[in-house]
Amino acid sequence: MALAEAGARGRLLRWPRVLLFGDSITEYSFQENGWGAYLAERLVRKCDVVNRGISGYNTRWAKLILPRLITESTSADSIAAVTIFFGANDSALKELNPKQHVPLEEYAANLKSMVQYLKSVDVTADRIILITPPPLQESAWEKACLAKGDKLNRCNATTGQYAQACVQVARECGTDVLDLWTLMQKNQDFSSYLSDGLHLSPKGNSFLAAQLWSRLENKLSALPSLLPYWRDVDHTNPEASLL
């Protein structure tokens, strides 16, 4: 059978998408042993995991980009889940990092605006997961700042306020939330979860992957595996199995 004929007979295969939207902690998630790579590996026969992490960005900029990533014509049937993972930059101290800083109230409003936009294009609340920023290990991040000629421009207590705001937005909007700031500090020294005090270490990536998978697994378990297992293909008549 010619390829063109096979294509005409078979339905176009479309993998649903899991969209990861966030800052550098999302952008780096496809690195070796990253949390995004973990999800992609487990969902390879069910979904495309799409990394839309943009290093250095905050919610003020992100809310302008989101409508360019997901539109009404493509969203409802193709988006299996969306993670929104901002706050590490928004929570930067205004006097030391005014470019990335976003006031707490505006941060919450921006998150709410993004959730409302997704709902408006038929991405339902049960498919949206907000993720709080992780805790900040100040001494390690200060070393990273000093190496660039900067002062310590974040603090963990402030990051915690943004994490609480993220949790509150999720509660008000009816979405799931992963409170990474609280979970990483629960009865343990969280420094090993971070590579430089701000970004995730291999252990931090594994922690986030496990926490996120526990939430995504239920949402995506009903999705079928695309294309049959190879042992189930009729080798005498593969067209019957594959088209």
Q: Express each pLDDT in 131-176 by its tens digit.
A: 999 999 999 988 998 998 889 889 999 999 999 999 999 999 999 9
- Choose, from 24, 78, 113, 201, the residue flagged as catalytic: 24
Q: What is the mean pLDDT of residues 54-71?
A: 96
pTM exceeds 0.75, yes or no? yes
Q: For residues 231 and 239, give the distance between their C-alpha atoms in angstroms, rounded to a whole number.
A: 14
Query: Any catalytic annotation for residue 101?
Result: no
Domain that holds residue 149: 17-222
- Choose, from 78, 195, 196, 201, the residue flagged as catalytic: 196
Instruction: Report if residue 40 sits inside a domain.
Output: yes
Q: For residues 142 and 14, give the distance between their C-alpha atoms in angstroms, rounded to a whole number.
A: 46
Instruction: Report if residue 235 sits inside a domain.
Output: no
> Please, is 117 exposed, middle or buried when counting C-beta atoms within 10 Å of its C-beta (0-12, 13-18, 19+)?
middle
CA dihedral 49, 54, 60, 63 (to 10 degrees): -30
pLDDT for 120 equals: 94
Residues 6+ apart with CB under 8 A from 217: none
189 Rama class: left (phi>0) / alpha (psi -120 to 50) / beta: beta
Query: Any catalytic annotation for residue 196?
Result: yes
Instruction: Report if residue 239 sits inside a domain.
Output: no
Instruction: Report if residue 242 sits inside a domain.
Output: no
Q: For residues 171 and 76, give the distance between their C-alpha atoms in angstroms, rounded to a whole number.
A: 22
The DSSP-derived string for 150-165 is: ------HHHHHHHHHH
Higher pLDDT, 240 or 167: 167
Query: Any catalytic annotation for residue 199?
Result: yes
Q: Find the CATH number of the domain harbouring 159.
A: 3.40.50.1110
Return the bridge partners of 200, or none: 194
Instruction: Report if residue 240 sits inside a domain.
Output: no
Instruction: Report if residue 241 sits inside a domain.
Output: no
Q: What is the mean pLDDT of residues 187-202?
A: 92
Is the predicted pLDDT of residue 2 greater than 70, yes or no?
A: no
Segment 74-115, tens digit of pLDDT:
656 689 999 999 999 999 999 999 999 999 999 999 999 999
Average pLDDT, the chain: 92
Instruction: Report if residue 9 sits inside a domain.
Output: no
Instruction: Report if residue 122 sits inside a domain.
Output: yes
Cα atoms in the 13 Å half-sphere on the side-chain side of 76: 5
Residue 5's pLDDT band (boundaries 50, 70, 90)? Answer: low
Number of domains in the chain: 1
Residues 6+ apart with CB under 8 A from 41: none
